[in-house]
Amino acid sequence: MIVTSIAIIGVFLLLFAAFIVKDIVAAKRSVHKTVHYSVRESIGAYLMLFPALALICLFVLLPIVYSLGYAFTDYYLLSPNDVGFIGFDNFADIIENIRKHGTVYNAIINTLKFVVFVVPLQIGMALGLAMLVNKKARGMGVFKVMYFAPVVISLTVTSYLWVRILGGGDSGLLNSFLVKLGSEPISFLYDPQGAMYWIIFVSAWQGCGYQMLIFLSGLKGIDSTLYEAAELDGAGKGRQFLAVTVPGLRSVLTFVIITVFIGACKVMVQPMLMTGEQTFTITLNYLMYIEGYTYRWVGYSSAIALLMTIAIGAITFLQRYLLKEED
Amino acid sequence: MEREHILRRTKFISARVILYLFSVLIALFFIFPLVWMVVTSTKTEMQYANDLGSFATFIPNFQELSTFFDNYASVFTQYDIWQYALNSFGYAAAVVVGNIVVNALAGYVMAKFNFPGKGFVTFLIMFLLIVPVETTIIPLYSIVHTLGMSGTVLAVILPPLVSVFNIFLFQQFFANISREYIEAAQLDGASQLRIFFVIMMPLSAPIVATVATFAFIGVWNDYIWPTMVLPNPQPGQWPLYPIQAALTTIQSIEGVTTGEVMASLVVTSIPIFLVYVFAQKYIVEGIGAGGLKI
């Protein structure tokens, strides 16, 4: 592992050196000496770039290269000197697991469920809230702060708080009221049908205030005379929303959809802390963590990670393409 | 005429009433869990159990004011949450300062220096900004493990020091600062590092504040990574866990009461709450800067 790492960093340094030489040669050859490098300035630049480049190499580039490479090995964390290249075996295992409706299958289904529901829910709530607090009435600023409040607490706090609210038996907040009303206590978070939806709900509750602020700055940027013109033309509220608000928010909307989507694909903390490892709430990122960290099968875990990255990258690209095309 | 005026006035007022009612209902939806968290943190387990299922569950413990802060007392003295909080402050301070120095230096060089190989570094930064690297936490863990850093504070502090996005932000910012500042200082014989720290950093105070705010929130709220690389707290020793990770530890202590759990959640949230209150301006600017990424 250390040898491979040194080799990868060596290749990086060689590339960097090659580009430096190329630039110097080009400067020497330029006819009117338009490009001129000062030795002092260059050495200063390298020294000041060194901390950033060293950290990028170690903690950004190496992990990227390894996440590609490990996926094709049987790397077990505790035996780093016994890593074998096994081709596509990890991927074959994953496909086999999906066919047998195993954990990977569950993780894919749960992640898809989360993404498909949380993205429209959270963005819809955020847009609604933004339009509400954007109304010109006294005191809307106070409401804005309240709607934003859940963003301030971390995902860890959110998860542990909602565990107490949705807790099973009659000790949970919600159940205590249901029992008072004569209902049986419901184990919200251990119900295979419903648990994932509660996680979706809690995630949207916690996160939407942030996108509300982004939408709000977008709404402020829309020329208010456009609404007046639309009203003169006899457009109702719904028509105004579609004809003025949505086009006015296009670039903001693109940004929000893509960031919320990518964040949703990576969901892990909420199922981890709210239900623990359960077939009905495990997500892909969480599974990747369990395989790579708890069971230490870095190779298999990296294969899952690689598939995830490819899927996220492809869908993000598609979103960008579709959303930009209409401009 | 008078009649029409009254009619319009009534219509306006009723619209307002509906608007405010609606806004209040939604506000309740967003803050009742937070209110309940704070309220419950003042109650003994008995009171908590008694109040469940009635409206009293949302009323703080005003009957027995002598036990009002008991949960906070036990969270601080028995569960030593202040040690975890100090750890979090330490990690956050190190990351915030380091993150700003490392990335601002790089951004400054990229904006104002001319050197061979600059095209390569520009390409590297742009590449890392665009390429989707969503899931490299396991390879990162294996690297940190191999470097012998797992189990040490270095594992929590070093990886978040560099941020390609922050380099990019600083580069954009410094590009707009006039060269004359640098040239004047150079004539006075100031060294490059001196120019950076004495002239450039003070000029970039707004962007530094934004980056610092987001870096602080990021480190304070991080949960997964610290629990991966730091050892579980052992009794009788100063723990290495930051406060978010400590929440899991406190949750799993035998006999911990609901009130104590809530108190620990409140203590964990207060610093971030203060950051949002006092650094509001920079957070809004940062959210705007995020839009640059696209």
Helix (H) or strand (E) holding B203: helix B201-203
A164-223 residue pLDDT tens: 999 877 778 999 899 888 888 888 998 899 999 999 999 999 999 999 999 998 898 888
Give the Cα separation of B16 and B10 in Å (integer): 10
CA neighbor of A118 nearest in space, from A200, A176, A40: A200
CATH architecture of structural domain A100-325: Orthogonal Bundle (1.10)
B11 and B123 fall within a common domain? no
Q: Does B133 touch chain A (CB under 8 A)?
A: yes
B161 and B139 fall within a common domain? yes
CA-derived radius of gyration, chain A = 26
Find the mean pLDDT for residues A287-297: 93
Chosen from B20, B26, B29, B30 to mutate, greatest number of chain A CBs within 10 A: B30
CATH number of the domain residue B151 falls in: 1.10.3720.10
Residue ending a domain, choose from B55, B75, B95:
B75
Quote the pLDDT of residue B291: 52
B121 and B180 fall within a common domain? yes
Nearest beta carbon to residue B117 from set A23, A56, A213: A23
Query: Which chain A residues are within 8 Å of B102, Cβ to Cβ?
Result: 51-52, 55
Query: Which chain B residues are within 8 Å of A160, Cβ to Cβ?
Result: 247, 251, 261, 265
Which is higher by pLDDT, A11 or A250?
A: A11
Where along chain A do its domains lie? 2-70, 100-325
**Length reported for chain B:** 294
Query: Which chain A residues are within 8 Å of B247, Cβ to Cβ?
Result: 156-157, 160
Task: Write the single-letter amino acid at A170.
Answer: D
Q: Does B193 touch chain A (CB under 8 A)?
A: yes
DSSP secondary structure letters along A39-71: HHHHHHHHHHHHHHHHHHIIIIIHHHHHHHHHT
Residue ending a domain, choose from B75, B91, B107:
B75
Q: What is the ipTM of this complex?
A: 0.91
Across A255-269, b (16+ Cβ under 10 Å) vs e yields bbbbbbbbbbbbbbb
The B residues from 82 to 111 touching A (CB cutoff 8 Å) are 101-103, 105-106, 108-110
What tokens were used for A207? 């996160």
Q: Does B136 touch chain A (CB under 8 A)?
A: yes
B168 and B256 fall within a common domain? yes
What pTM was computed for the model?
A: 0.91
Q: Answer whether A180 sits within 8 Å of B145, measured CB to CB.
A: no
Q: Answer whether B269 sits within 8 Å of A254, measured CB to CB.
A: no
Nearest beta carbon to residue B142 from set A16, A77, A170: A77
Question: What are the backbone angles phi and psi of residue A223, rounded to the nearest 5°?
Answer: -65, 120
Inter-chain CB pairs, A–B, below 8 Å: 272
Per-residue pLDDT tens digits of chain B, which is 294 residues long: 678 888 888 888 998 999 999 999 999 999 999 999 999 999 999 999 889 888 888 999 888 888 899 999 999 999 999 999 999 999 999 999 999 999 999 999 999 999 999 999 999 999 998 777 767 899 999 899 888 998 999 999 999 999 999 999 999 899 988 888 888 888 888 888 888 998 889 988 889 999 999 999 999 999 999 999 999 988 888 999 999 999 999 988 888 999 999 999 999 999 999 999 898 888 877 776 655 443
Placement of tokens 């730091």 in the chain? B230
B109 and B67 fall within a common domain? no
Greatest Cα pair distance, chain B, in angstroms, is 84
Q: Which domain holds residue B213?
A: 81-293
Min distance A255 CA to chain B CA atoms (Å): 7
Residue ending a domain, choose from B34, B53, B75:
B75
Placement of tokens 């990886």 in the chain? B159
B38 and B86 fall within a common domain? no
B234 and B213 fall within a common domain? yes
Chosen from B115, B134, B138 to mutate, greatest number of chain A CBs within 10 A: B138
Query: Which chain B residues are within 8 Å of A53, Cβ to Cβ?
Result: 106, 121
B47 and B90 fall within a common domain? no
Number of structural domains, chain B? 2
Find the mean pLDDT for residues A216-233: 86
Find the mean pLDDT for residues A41-65: 93
Quote the pLDDT of residue A50: 96
